[in-house]
Structure 1
């Protein structure tokens, strides 16, 4: 059996935390901006820290596993 849990969690979090795609923290004009398709260095750093924290929680603390195959 293949464990696809880490792959699934990483892809979903990557899409959700891509700066400027859905949400940007901090934004250029406000603290939070939605769907502006722009980014900054500070925003990349904040999103990277949030991504790292959540992926550690989901994979190490909770231990998400999705088994696919025979």
Structure 2
């Protein structure tokens, strides 16, 4: 059985960093908007960079392992 750490971390970070679901950086009228369910190309790019950065930190730098 493989390591489930990257899968679970990726799923949680995907939900957290979905633009417009919990927060949106940058927002349409403000720098940060919460629960507006709207996106823009810039916010998708920013959230993609945040997702990638946190995935690298958790999987490579910290080395989170779940399973055997």
Which band: TM-score by shorter chain? over 0.9
- TM-score relative to the length of structure 2: 0.96
Matched, 1:44 2:44: yes
4+ residue runs of structure 1 moved beyond 3 angstroms? none
Q: What is the total number of aligned residue pairs between the two structures?
A: 68
After TM superposition, give the deviation of residue 3 of structure 1 in Å: 1.2
**5+ residue gaps in structure 1?**
none
RMSD, aligned α-carbons: 1.0
TM-score of the pair, normalised by structure 1: 0.93
Provide Cα deviations, 1:18-64, integer angstroms capped at 9, x if missing partner.
00000000000100000000000000000000000000010000001
- Structure number with the higher strand fraction is 1
